[in-house]
Amino acid sequence: MSLDLGKKGLDEAVKAGASYADVRIGEILDENLTVKNGVPEEVNLLQTKGFGIRVMIKGSWGFAASVDLTRKEVVEISQKAVAIARASNKTKKKPVMFRKATGKKDSYFTPMKKDPFKISLEEKMETLVNAERTVSKQSPHIKVSQAFFRAMQEKKLFMNTEGAQIHQQINWNGGGILAIAIKNGEVQRRSYPSSFRGNFATSGYESFESLQLIEHAEQVGKEAGQLLKAEKCPSTTTDLIITGDQLALQIHESCGHPTELDRALGMEADYAGTSFLTPDKLNKLQYGSKLVNITADATVQGGLGTFGYDDEGTTAKKVNLVKNGIFVGYQSSRETAALLELKESSGGMRADSPLAIPLIRMTNINLSAGDWKAEEIVEDTQNGVLMQTNRSWSIDDRRLNFQFGTEIGWIIKEGSKEKMIRNPTYTGITPEFWGSCNAISKDDWKMWGTPNCGKGVPGQVMYVGHGCGTARYQKVRVGLIK
Amino acid sequence: MAAALPVTRKSELDLSSKMELRRMITNRLLEIAERTVKLTLQHKADQAQAAAFLINSSLTRYANSQIHQNIATKTGADKLFADTIR
């Protein structure tokens, strides 16, 4: 990464009148492999390069970016960013203030043993072909069988006029398998380790290997076939147990998005709406039961939202969002932290490429482990439903009223799984739902990676993480409303 | 990547200059695409397809009655698809 180009960009911005400027230069490698019904469907390697410059003029922001990494272009783009900031100034109500960043001269590299981009395509494809083939053999009703691999490497340099000079290399990868079984118009699906192409972690190729797709393929295929014959999810109000692969999305939608401070302040509404967690509720609202502790933690090992510094130079950190059930914190930026008179940014400003402006994005939004073993939660439940692996989601634009569907469920009777059910769904109101949480596990707590979180206009797709195990909620409405 | 294109302020261009600039950009993108296809075929691919593009975009977003985001982006890419049958 060229320090010289970065310095040139900052110098030009200051010369043109900027009181603050930052520049991000980056290069992204993104490999996607898919095998579908015995055929390699996607063998794709994309490379993105470029730089973006953000400047402040008289308390207004301007941003410009380009793929052309030359000195001439850096000069032009700096001047363009300054011109844009001057234009923004025309509608300014109050000058933008922002908190100090902690970034300095430093570097961060995702710890990894095996570089996924140095593993041969043949080796990766062989794993996928074998996994997909095993899935397809498990039932004559499996009409679609797929296996996925994805690896991303992001190299980036951040510099600003406060002296920060931060090199980072973030690596993540993972994959999954999918079976879709169809019979008499009924369509059922099973995925492993999670839906929507699998699970992902900041790590080397060793994390993909640890998924053991081939070893899990038999069960995935069989369950897809079994679901065709399973009873429908009953319509009732009962205890609900959710495993980590579904709970991750529950956390994402009902805590992750509403604690993004730009949404709470009404500055951002695209993709996921605003938020019911408005600033007047901070440190007051009973968000959940006393068992519920949720953090934004960019430091946890393997999390898809784990890094050294965010994209405005704030050091990765862990902040409380919900503590002992009370809503206590936001995910913020340097600017929004100042607006709410918070001491500092939560370190959540992230952009999906050097060409995009950073937005407040989730890092790893984690539900802290409780005291239970996952098995004990089932054994302790007299009547209930256990739901696993997300299939669909819907939530209103203030993040209050939600409905989720999962791929598979089980009726729980007197402490054990009685029978499998198909098309399980549940619905709730965020604070009531989390308020009814009465058991959280610790033994199956792990990081789940969501590589497809959308936000902003132009839309950005960010990779974020969620740490959780299994949890139980009381008196939840499940099944279709009669 | 589409690179090293001539840079001139739009407001300074008359119509013929604009047409000339567009022609130069088109030729440059075509050259990138042709070179990509040739290189791929040299590596024993049976079929190759390349697409090159350059996009200038600007966007202004308002929130709470003031400009919240004001950005300009120059994106470009050449995408390569190659099928090899041996």
Q: Where are the beta strands (DSSP E) in A243-335?
A: 294-297, 318-323, 326-327
Closest residue, chain B, to A46 (C-alpha): B79
3-state per-residue secondary structure call for A380-411: CCCEEEEEEEEEEEEECCCCCEEEEEEEEEEE
Residue type at A10 in one-letter notation: L
Q: Which residue has the tokens 């990676």?
A: A449
Please tell me the distance in Å from B15's CA to the nearest CA on chain A: 22
Give the residue from chain A lying closest to B65, CA to CA: A91
A63 and B70 in contact by Cβ < 8 A? yes
pLDDT digits (tens, 9 = 90+) for A7-46: 999 999 999 999 999 999 999 999 999 999 999 999 999 8
Max CA separation in chain A (angstroms): 73
Topology of domain A3-227 in CATH is PmbA/TldD fold (3.30.2290)
Distance from the B3 Cα atom to the nearest Cα atom in chain A, whole angstroms:
5
At A197, is the secondary structure helix, strand, or coil? Answer: coil
CB A311 within 8 A of CB A350: yes
* Tokens describing residue A266: 């009404």
Chain A residues in contact with B1 (beta carbon < 8 A): 49, 67-68
CA distance A372 to chain B (A): 45
Of all residues in chain A, the one with the smallest CA distance to B61 is A457
For residues A295 and A319, the answer to whether their CB atoms sit within 8 Å is yes
Provide, as residue numbers in chain A, all residues whose Cβ is less than 8 Å from the Cβ of B7.
Answer: 72-73, 76
Report field, pTM of the whole predicted structure over 0.95: no
Q: Does B69 sit within 8 Å of A458, measured CB to CB?
A: no
Sorted by where each begins, the domain ranges of chain B are 14-83
pLDDT of A480 reads: 85
In angstroms, what is the C-alpha Rg of chain B? Answer: 18
Q: Is the dihedral of CA A356, A358, A359, A363 positive or negative?
A: positive
| CB-based contact A92 B75, cutoff 8 Å | no
Tens digits of residue pLDDT in A430-479: 999 999 999 999 999 999 999 999 999 889 999 999 999 999 999 999 99
Asked whether A334 and A324 are in contact (CB, 8 A), the reply is: no
Q: Do A87 and B70 touch (CB under 8 A)?
A: yes
Residues in chain B within 8 Å Cβ distance of A457: 59, 61
Residue A77 to residue B74, Cβ atoms within 8 A? yes
**B74 and A62: CB-CB below 8 Å?**
no
Q: How far is B67 from chain A (nearest CA, A)?
A: 6
User: So what's the ipTM on this one?
Assistant: 0.78
**How sure is the predictor about B1, in pLDDT bands with cuts at 50, 70 and 90?**
very low
Cβ distance A315 to A298 under 8 Å?
Answer: no
Q: What is the pLDDT of residues A381-430, one digit of tens each?
A: 999 999 999 999 999 999 999 999 999 999 999 999 999 999 999 999 99
The residue extents of the domains of chain A are 3-227, 231-478
| Whether pLDDT at B23 is above 90 | no
B29-65 per-position pLDDT tens digit: 888 888 888 888 888 788 888 888 888 899 998 888 7
